[in-house]
């Protein structure tokens, strides 16, 4: 079993109150559990092995007592150390969606595609894509996020298009001029 930093991937499914290990790819309710060897396709060394919440995904949260910054709250209750570097929170934009859903793989040294989808990356949406499915990077990305077959993104663990995410990307990613109009 391939491992990153000494850790290996394991999928578990719930049956009642029990978490059961699943070594083979399988469906569990609405979810697809990746096979054990598939985990490192996304949990890459470049992403630090673990995919999960990042500090810049935490912002204000409405508690019973009022609206407070989640990082400050987690520091106050001792979950996070007090000496963290300040980070700018991500907004609810398409770039934040891409960062949360795609940048684990799509970052420098993260995959075999030279595409950096981290929030802070500079992206030319009108450039030709490195893989087909459109004339521009924008068109290719929308096609891959909006399909569930060969070439889908994300490549694992889903057979349903995130319609809200796709609509957000369609609305917020900059439009590109029609290549037919440039001649």
If one compares 83 and 6, the residue with the highest pLDDT of the two is 83
What's the structural domain count of the chain? 1
Q: pLDDT at position 183, please?
A: 52
- Tell whether the model's pLDDT for residue 169 goes beyond 70: yes
Angle at the Cα of 64 from the Cα atoms of 81 and 164, rounded to 5 degrees: 85
State whether the Cα torsion 12-13-17-20 is positive or negative: negative
Q: pLDDT at position 177, please?
A: 80
Whether residue 123 lies inside any domain: the answer is: no
Q: pLDDT at position 182, please?
A: 56
Most confident of 42-46, 49-53, 83-87, 102-106: 102-106
- Tell whether the model's pLDDT for residue 12 goes beyond 70: yes
| pLDDT band of 82, cuts 50, 70, 90 | confident
Q: What average pLDDT does range 155-160 have in this prediction?
A: 76
Q: pLDDT at position 99, please?
A: 85
Whether residue 48 lies inside any domain: the answer is: no
Tokens of 53: 């919440």
Tokens of 156: 């694992």
Q: Which domain holds residue 10?
A: 1-41
Q: What average pLDDT does range 99-123 have in this prediction?
A: 81
Q: What average pLDDT does range 131-152 have in this prediction?
A: 82
Whether residue 55 lies inside any domain: the answer is: no
Whether residue 11 lies inside any domain: the answer is: yes
User: What φ, ψ does residue 168 adopt, rounded to 5°?
Assistant: -60, -45
Whether residue 49 lies inside any domain: the answer is: no
Q: Give the number of other CB atoms < 10 A from CB of residue 130.
A: 11
Q: What is the mean pLDDT of the chain?
A: 78
Whether residue 10 lies inside any domain: the answer is: yes
Q: What average pLDDT does range 104-129 have in this prediction?
A: 82
- Distance (Å, whole) CA 20 – CA 103: 29
- Tell whether the model's pLDDT for residue 110 goes beyond 70: yes
Whether residue 26 lies inside any domain: the answer is: yes
- Tell whether the model's pLDDT for residue 138 goes beyond 70: yes
pLDDT in tens, 17-43: 888 777 766 665 666 777 777 777 777
Whether residue 72 lies inside any domain: the answer is: no
- Tell whether the model's pLDDT for residue 90 goes beyond 60: no
Q: What average pLDDT does range 82-107 have in this prediction?
A: 77
- Tell whether the model's pLDDT for residue 46 goes beyond 80: no
């Amino acid at each position: 079993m391939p491992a990153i930093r000494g850790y290996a991937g394991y999928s578990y499914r719930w049956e009642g109150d029990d978490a059961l290990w699943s070594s083979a790819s399988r469906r569990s309710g609405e979810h697809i559990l990746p096979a054990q060897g598939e985990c490192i396709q996304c949990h890459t060394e470049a992403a630090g092995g673990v995919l999960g919440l990042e500090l810049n995904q935490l912002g204000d949260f409405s508690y019973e007592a009022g609206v407070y910054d989640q990082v400050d709250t987690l520091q106050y209750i001792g979950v996070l150390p007090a000496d963290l570097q300040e980070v700018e929170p991500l907004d609810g934009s398409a770039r934040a969606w891409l960062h949360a859903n795609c940048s684990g793989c799509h970052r420098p040294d993260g995959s075999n595609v030279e595409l950096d989808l981290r929030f802070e990356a500079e992206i030319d949406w009108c450039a030709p894509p490195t893989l087909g499915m459109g004339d521009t990077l924008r068109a290719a990305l929308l096609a891959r996020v909006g399909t569930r077959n060969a070439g889908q993104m994300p490549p694992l663990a889903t057979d349903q298009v995130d319609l809200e995410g796709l609509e957000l990307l369609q609305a917020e990613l900059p439009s590109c001029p029609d290549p037919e109009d440039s001649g």
